[in-house]
């Protein structure tokens, strides 16, 4: 397969700022069509990527070798299943589905049709998370006992839209949005989860979905993850605080890749994923500490992995089964918040 034609469903925030530029910068992939009914967006994708704007997903089937689903959350399963039924490989933005069972059914369908299915868990390639994984693998932290992770923002005035005001069927709110990343990173680092506790609240007027959420996980190995997602944090906590038996790692500030993508920087530009030195984290104990260079962020590695899997027949960059595991935890978290209980998964 010399060139893989990509059809992108949706050109909102996820499609415009993440998927389209990453696809365009990946050797072997060509963005050929984008589903958007907005004339302005159709003109943009034509001018920027040479892609055709189309009004309906059915127009992608003959134009694409790969379909990327970046439409609103409630449409993920139906759109991905329709593409799989056409025999097309699919990338689905997170969350894969609304429930773990829906996710499992989609995975089974892709396996039956013999096509690739993967999930855009791009935060696995955040530079700061890559740094945490490296420190863990090299033994710098010792045994990790507590993993604290935050996606916090200060947005006292709601932006509106389905992410803040949609009903349960829209899968809005922070638990299924940023929580998908937080839980995925925790499970990638510390493994399966046996207990889930969650506090989830709506703090702002004019908002109907959770905008201030805390999740506590107990992993099979005994480590604990404390995860925060909030739109009402006027003072931001550390992005990561990882406590181990040998040392701790503390990092402030978000990964730089989203900010640069939103600013229009192409993801293959020199230094695209490099963190600024004054934002590097620190590793140490009460007796002393040292700055740790942040690993370069590498969102492009996701789509490079997709291209390699399609070209060479290898595994996808994100096993969709791991996304189903994340959904199992998110469902448990929602149940915990609703009933004010600890949910035991095993």
Describe the chain by its helix, strand, coil percentages, rounded to 5.
40, 25, 40
Q: Where are the beta strands (DSSP E) in the chain?
A: 4-9, 29-35, 52-54, 66-69, 90-93, 117-120, 144-152, 193-201, 212-219, 224-230, 240-244, 248-251, 281-285, 288-292, 343-344
Cβ-based neighbours of 60, under 8 Å, separated by 6 or more: 7, 9, 33, 35, 54, 67, 83
- Tell me the β-bridge partners of 243: 146, 248
pLDDT in tens, the chain (346 residues): 679 999 999 999 999 999 999 999 999 999 999 999 999 999 999 999 999 999 999 999 999 999 999 999 999 999 999 999 999 999 999 999 999 999 999 999 999 999 999 999 999 999 999 999 999 999 999 999 999 999 999 999 998 888 888 777 788 999 999 999 999 999 999 999 999 999 999 999 999 999 999 999 999 999 999 999 999 999 999 999 999 999 999 999 999 999 999 999 999 999 999 999 999 999 999 899 999 999 999 999 999 999 999 999 999 999 999 999 999 999 999 999 999 999 999 8
Cα gap 306→164, rounded to integer Å: 31
CA 96 → CA 37, 70, 322, 336, distances in Å?
23, 10, 10, 21
Task: Please tell me the predicted confidence (pLDDT) of residue 346.
Answer: 85
Task: Please tell me the predicted confidence (pLDDT) of residue 165.
Answer: 86
Task: Please tell me the predicted confidence (pLDDT) of residue 144.
Answer: 98
Task: Please tell me the predicted confidence (pLDDT) of residue 160.
Answer: 86
Question: In terms of pTM, does the model score above 0.85?
Answer: yes
Look at residue 272 and give its three-state secondary structure. Answer: coil
**Do the Cβ atoms of 81 and 88 come closer than 8 Å?**
no
Task: Please tell me the predicted confidence (pLDDT) of residue 1.
Answer: 60
Domains of the chain by start residue, with CATH: 4-120 (3.40.50.720), 123-298+329-344 (3.30.360.10)
């Amino acid at each position: 397969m010399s060139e893989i034609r990509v059809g992108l469903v949706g050109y909102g925030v996820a499609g415009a700022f993440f998927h389209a530029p990453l696809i365009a910068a990946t050797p072997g992939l060509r963005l050929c069509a984008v589903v958007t009914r907005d004339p302005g967006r159709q003109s943009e994708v034509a001018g920027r990527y040479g892609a055709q704007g189309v009004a309906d997903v059915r127009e992608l089937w003959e134009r694409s070798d790969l379909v990327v689903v970046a439409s609103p959350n409630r449409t993920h399963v139906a759109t991905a299943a329709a593409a799989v039924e056409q025999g097309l490989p699919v990338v689905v933005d997170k969350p894969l589905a609304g429930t773990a069972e829906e996710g499992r059914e989609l995975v089974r369908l892709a396996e039956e049709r013999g096509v690739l299915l993967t999930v855009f868990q791009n935060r696995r390639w955040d530079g700061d998370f890559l740094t945490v994984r490296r420190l863990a693998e090299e033994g710098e932290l010792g045994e990790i006992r507590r993993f604290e992770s935050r996606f916090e923002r200060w947005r006292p005035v709601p932006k509106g839209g389905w992410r803040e005001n949609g009903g349960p069927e829209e899968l809005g709110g922070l638990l299924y949005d940023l929580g998908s990343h937080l839980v995925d990173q925790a499970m990638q680092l510390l493994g399966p989860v046996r207990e889930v506790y969650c506090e989830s609240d709506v703090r702002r007027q004019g908002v109907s979905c959770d905008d201030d959420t805390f999740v506590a996980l107990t992993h099979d190995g005994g480590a604990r993850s404390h995860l925060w997602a909030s739109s009402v944090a006027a003072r931001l906590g550390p992005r990561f605080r990882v406590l181990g038996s040998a040392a701790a790692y503390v990092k402030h500030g978000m990964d730089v890749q989203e900010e640069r993508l939103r600013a229009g920087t192409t993801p293959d530009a020199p230094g695209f994923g490099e963190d600024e030195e004054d934002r590097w984290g620190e590793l140490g104990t009460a007796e002393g500490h040292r700055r740790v260079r942040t690993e370069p962020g590498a969102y492009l590695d996701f789509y490079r992995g997709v291209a390699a899997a399609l070209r060479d027949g290898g595994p996808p960059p994100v096993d969709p089964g791991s996304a189903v595991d994340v959904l199992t935890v998110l469902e448990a978290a929602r149940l915990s918040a609703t009933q004010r209980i600890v949910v035991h998964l095993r």
